[in-house]
Amino acid sequence: FWRNQIGRYGLTGAHQTSSIETLSDGLKTRLVFAELVLSTPDIVLMDEPTNHLDMESIDSLAKAINEFTGGVVLVSHDFRLISQ
């Protein structure tokens, strides 16, 4: 169950069994968002969530936000994220 869930956010293969300290900032962000969504909140507040993320991580975050069924309050200057 857990591997399938975090796999939806781009953590696949060896990343799923790696210690958190060895993950990149982008993968850590994906993991945190996966954890957050699994806790089924009604609303998520995000302040500049793309800081220090690569393009692939930004796209993955955008996909996760779009699939999230709760409310999202997003503060960002990143047009790549906002446009998705």
Give the residue among 57, 47, 48 at the shortest CA–CA distance from 26: 57
Where along the chain do its domains lie? Answer: 2-83
State the pLDDT at residue 11: 82
pLDDT above 90 covers a percentage of the chain that reads 27
Q: Which residues pair with 11 in a beta bridge?
A: none
First to last CA, the chain: 28
CATH topology of domain 2-83: Rossmann fold (3.40.50)
Q: How far apart are CA 47 and CA 15, in angstroms?
A: 26
pLDDT in tens, 2-30: 888 888 877 888 888 899 999 988 888 88
